[in-house]
Structures are given as C-alpha cells and as structure tokens.
Amino acid sequence: MNEGTIHLADEDSASDLEAAARRSAPVDVDRLTTLRNTAPPPALPRTSWWRALISSTLAPPLPLDDRTLTRRVGVTCVAVAVVLIVVSLAIGLRGDPSASSPMLSFAIVIARAVVALGILALSHSLLRMGERILTHSSRT
C-alpha cells in the first residue's frame, strides 16, 4: 500500500477509518461518512426455544371442519353451565352468617339467593344453547 494514498475497502474497521482521517491523507469524505452512518444488518428473527420445543413435541393440529368446531362450542357451553351450577349451589346453600342483627343476616341470605338464582339462570341459558348446538350439529 502506498503511504500517500489510502484505499478504503469494505473490510476496513472503524478504527482504521478514524486513523486515516487523522493522518491528513486524501480521504474520500463521502465514502467515510457513508461507512460510519450505515446501520448494521437487520438481525435474523430468532425463534423461541419454547416454540421449537412445543412444535417438535406435539403433533400438528388437525384441520377443523365446521362440524368439529360446532361440537366443541356445544361441549364448552355445557361444561361451563355445569361449573356455574356448582358455583350457584355453593353460593346459595351457604350457612347463615353470624351477623350482629337478624335483619342483616336476612339481607345477606336474600342477596346470596338472588346471586345464586342469577347464576342458575345463566347456566340454564348455556345448557339450552349447548343442547341446541349439539342436536343441530348431529342432524347435519
């Protein structure tokens, strides 16, 4: 390499470029600024180790048709309805609270009964919806 001129190549490091700028040798300023201002190449998307583990462990999902999907929705409605029935029974059949006044105990029992009846109404609606979905999907 000739000491009077500096040939800038792509493999030059930033320290070489800064040293060349300090030596007052003829440097292509446009090339120097473009080399300094260039952003690093974008990083490759990394897949998560968890996704790689799951995808290698589990079988690929089966394609869903309409009948399978409607059956899943119906079974989910029935399952949620059964859970809500158990919750409403647990709320409605709780014992008498030991409150200081009988009127307060009465109000608490009535409030629990109203909440339990509301949950039972919701579970009844879900049971009917699940029944209609399941019976309709078995006909078609």
Q: What is the pLDDT of residues 89-128, one digit of tens each?
A: 999 988 777 777 888 888 888 999 999 999 999 999 999 9
Is residue 17 one of the residues assigned to a domain?
Answer: yes
CB 21 within 8 A of CB 27: yes
> What does pTM read for this prediction?
0.54
Q: Are residues 67 and 14 in the same domain?
A: no
| Count: domains in the chain | 2
Domain that holds residue 79: 63-139
pLDDT recorded at residue 21: 59
Is residue 49 one of the residues assigned to a domain?
Answer: no
Is residue 71 one of the residues assigned to a domain?
Answer: yes
pLDDT recorded at residue 81: 97
Q: Are residues 34 and 71 in the same domain?
A: no
Is residue 33 one of the residues assigned to a domain?
Answer: yes
Q: Are residues 14 and 70 in the same domain?
A: no
Q: Are residues 24 and 68 in the same domain?
A: no
CA distance 115 to 88: 8
